[in-house]
Amino acid sequence: MDVLLDNLDLYGPGFLSTIWLFLISAAASLVLGVVLAMLRVAPVPVMRSIGSSYVTLLRNTPLTLVFFFFAFAFPLLEIVTPATFGSASGYYFFAALCALILYTSAFVCEVVRSGINTVPVGQAEASRALGLTFGQMLASVVLPQATRAVVPPMMSTMIALLKNSTIAAGFSVFQAGSISLYLSERGENQMIGLLWVALFFILLVIPMSLLQRSLEKRWSIAR
């Protein structure tokens, strides 16, 4: 308990920074992921192959490598450099965001695409036969049904994103994962310090996964 209370000045900002990382990258990767999913189901073959190559590349690369690229190699290309942000820590936060967004959006894309694919073709054909426009068909036939298949796995993806954001600890972003590294500088017991970090994640993740499971159970009967 002492380790937590004596170092609240580390734990507070650390977890706050984790939550910011999570919220920003969750929102951005949802948008990018949906755009990619649109590309993957588009009627134009070039768009489909762009979407699927992106997903194949990013899904098979370790997130640590993506972080590595944005933290160390990307500044060398001089598109966005630490100088743009004025401070190294600002750049590293940006690098962490880029890595998390690009990596997670590939998974979001797959979840959305497989969700859309669970809707039987007949549903869309029937709505076309009724004369619904594309927008009406999406809004009142396809998406409500796809949501059931999308939300539970999407929640797992977001839980994974929350956990993955700790990788930024290895790349000079101060957040929950790096608290222990600072604790050791203060001569505190790292083991207990890390147990507190773990407890925090357990408290965040378990309610989310319980909710996910109950949604899954409630919605799985529908079809």
Q: Which helix (H) or strand (E) holds 112?
A: helix 88-117
Angle (CA) 205-211-214 rounded to 5° is 140
Place of tokens 């948008």: 31
- By CB under 8 A, tell whether 35 contacts another protein: no
Closer residue to another protein in complex, CB, 31/191: 191
Output 24 or 138, the one with its CB closest to another protein: 138
- DSSP string covering 119-137, please? S-HHHHHHHHHTT--HHHH
Identify residue 212 by its one-letter amino acid code.
Answer: Q
What residues between 130 and 169 interact with another protein by CB under 8 A?
A: 134, 138, 142, 152-154, 156-157, 160-164, 166-167, 169
Kindly identify the residues of this chain, within the stretch 36-95, that bind another protein according to CB under 8 A: 41-47, 50, 56-57, 59-65, 68-69, 72-73, 76-79
Task: Say whether residue 177 binds another protein (CB under 8 A).
Answer: yes
Task: Output the smallest distance, CB 36 to another protein, in A.
Answer: 13
206 near another protein, rule: CB under 8 A: yes
Q: How many C-beta atoms surround the C-beta of residue 41 within 10 A?
A: 14
Read off the tokens for 17: 């920074």
Q: Which residues of the chain form beta strands (DSSP E)?
A: none
Name the one range near another protein by CB under 8 A: 9-17, 19-27, 88-96, 188-196: 188-196
Is residue 105 within the footprint of another protein (CB under 8 A)? Answer: no
